[in-house]
Structure 1
Amino acid sequence: MSKRLNRKFGISRRIGAALWGTSKDPYHKRNYPPGMHGASGYKKTTEFGTQLLAKQKLKKYYGDITEKQFRSIYKEANRRKGDTGENLIALLESRLDAFIYRSKFVTTMFAARQFVTHKHVKVNGKTVNIPSYRLKPEDVVEVRDKSKKLLVVLDAAQRSEREVPDYIKLDASNSKATYLKVPSLAEVPYPVTMEPNLIVEFYSR
């Protein structure tokens, strides 16, 4: 197992859930925190601890987003009209790397970031290599022709653990997908419960 994959699965054990819903996640066999004292189990948390966990769970789910980046996304969500928690989910799901993962072009959120930075993706016909690039409804994302036969793309297409959500129109035969609309929290297929309302409370302290 690679160091990267090991680190990813360590996140699941720290969070206390199989964060990405994969059957290979060691959390299913070792559902306690990593470390020498982990076997004693997860301790009861305070209100602050519960809010922090909710924030870490959502942030870690989207891969390599730093705390500075996540806080910036939250501030943007808070500036927008409407429910801040729903705005936060909308902004995260409109990221290009998240869309690549949702469209099943790659197998993990971590791989999605790398896939974008290596220039394997086009948005509306133009190559984009910025994982945080914000998509708009009706944007068309496709894997570049020379990248469609990559093992990572072929492998992801065959995986049955995830379904493409309804807010994405997938043309699997051409490795192309259209962002139909900005989703609500209820429409996003998280394998674990996300609580953006607690994140709003955390940053409002």
Structure 2
Amino acid sequence: MTKRTSAKYKLDRRMGENIWGRPKSPVNRREYGPGQHGQRRKGKLSDFGTQLRAKQKLKGHYGDLTEKQFRRIYSEAERVKGDTGENLIGLLERRLDAVVYRAKFVPTVFAARQFVNHGHVTVNGQRVNIPSYRVKEGDVVAIRDKSRQLAIVLEAVGLPERDVPDYIEADHSKMTATFVRTPALGDVPYAVQMEPNLVVEYYAKN
């Protein structure tokens, strides 16, 4: 098993939830945490613990971002007018790696980051290799011609377990995706419940 895959499954086990809805997640078989004491750690979480878990779950869903990256996005969400939790979701979904994942060009968000890093993606015809690049409404994300027949892409397009959300218009015959609009929390097809309001509470106290 690759290091990346084992890290992904460890995250699921730590959260006790299948945060990407993947059929192979170990949580589908056992819901306790990793390690020899995993089964004993099912105590009631404090308010702080609940908020921390909400933050770790959201951070983990987008490829286990570093605390510094996540905090920076949160600070930006706080500065924009409107609901901070909704703004946070909108900013996370505008990341290029998130758009590539949502458009079903790759099977996982971890693969999306690597895919963008390796220069397989263009935005409005320009090659972009920065996973955190922020897509704007109306931007067209495409897979470069020479990358369209990669096994990882063909596998992802055929995956039955998730659909492309309606804020992205994907054309798998042309391998393009248009970012139509910034989604609200209710628009994002999370496999588990995300609670950005608890993330806001966490940062308000810490």
- Cα deviation, residue 42, structure 1: 2.1
Letter in 2 for 1:175: M
TM-score normalised to structure 1 length: 0.99
Distance in 2 between residues matched to 1:140 and 1:34, nearest whole Å: 40
Instruction: Tell me the residue number matched to 2:51.
Output: 51
Unaligned runs of 5+ in 2: none
- Cα deviation, residue 3, structure 1: 2.2
Distance in 2 between residues matched to 1:13 and 1:109, nearest whole Å: 17
- Cα deviation, residue 65, structure 1: 1.2
Distance in 1 between residues matched to 2:196 and 2:33, nearest whole Å: 23
Q: Partner of 1:173: helix, strand, or coil? A: coil
Letter in 2 for 1:105: F
Distance in 1 between residues matched to 2:143 and 2:64, nearest whole Å: 21
Instruction: Tell me the residue number matched to 1:29.
Output: 29
Q: Partner of 2:189: helix, strand, or coil? A: coil
Distance in 1 between residues matched to 2:64 and 2:87, nearest whole Å: 20
Instruction: Tell me the residue number matched to 2:83.
Output: 83
Distance in 1 between residues matched to 2:64 and 2:196, nearest whole Å: 19
Bigger mean CA deviation after superposition, 29-38 or 114-123: 29-38
Instruction: Tell me the residue number matched to 1:116.
Output: 116
Residue 182 in 1 paired to residue 182 in 2? yes
Q: Percent identity?
A: 60
Aligned length: 205
Instruction: Tell me the residue number matched to 2:147.
Output: 147
Letter in 1 for 2:165: P
Superposed CA RMSD in Å reads 0.7
Distance in 2 between residues matched to 1:46 and 1:64, nearest whole Å: 23
Letter in 2 for 1:125: G
Unaligned runs of 5+ in 1: none
Contact preservation (8 Å) 1:16, 1:32: yes
Residue 70 in 1 paired to residue 70 in 2? yes
TM-score normalised to structure 2 length: 0.98
- Cα deviation, residue 41, structure 1: 4.6
Letter in 2 for 1:101: Y
Residue 11 in 1 paired to residue 11 in 2? yes
